[in-house]
Amino acid sequence: MKRSRTIRLLLLGGMSASALTGCKPGDVRKAPITQNNVYTNDYFVAGVGYYHAPFRAWYPLRYNHYDPQQHRYFFGGQWADAPHQSIINISSPTPQAAELAEARRSDVSRGGFGGVAHGYWYGHSHWTGA
């Protein structure tokens, strides 16, 4: 039986990554948020919010979140009477969105003094929550 070159490379790559990062048992490292990665709708990052793939940015509420009191839907930093319809359910964030999300995330420990500013990024919109 012939072994697959892809599997061997994958296994070697995984072992190399573990050795280089110095992973310890129970040490969970989160991949950095970059414009080169792809994210699906509602991908959640602590301290940042939910990714809205059609808008290529993070927002405080899930994509097409429905507010029963307002009878409105939230997407892309705005409220509307109907849910947003798009065939895009996976995308890469804009460079600015990725940089801001990485800076605001609270799911990674950062060395040094103080901490990361907490809150949500509302994208280019002027979201008022109304």
Residue 92 zone, left/alpha/beta (φ > 0; ψ -120 to 50; rest): beta
Rounded Cα–Cα distance for residues 97 and 91 (Å): 12
- Are the C-beta atoms of residues 48 and 120 closer than 8 Å to each other? yes
Provide the percentage of residues in the chain whose pLDDT is more than 90: 55
- Taking only the tens place, the pLDDT of each residue in 42-87 is 999 999 999 999 999 999 999 999 999 999 999 999 999 999 999 9
Residue 49 zone, left/alpha/beta (φ > 0; ψ -120 to 50; rest): left
pLDDT (average), residues 85-91: 96
Q: How far apart are the first and last CA of the chain?
A: 64
> What is the DSSP code string of 21-40?
HT--TT---PPPP-TTS-EE
Half-sphere exposure of 30 (CA within 13 A, CB side): 14
- How confident is the model at residue 122, as a pLDDT? 40
- How confident is the model at residue 30, as a pLDDT? 77
Structure tokens at 108: 């990674």
- How confident is the model at residue 1, as a pLDDT? 52
Is the pTM higher than 0.85? The answer reads no
- How confident is the model at residue 31, as a pLDDT? 86
Rounded Cα–Cα distance for residues 15 and 13 (Å): 5
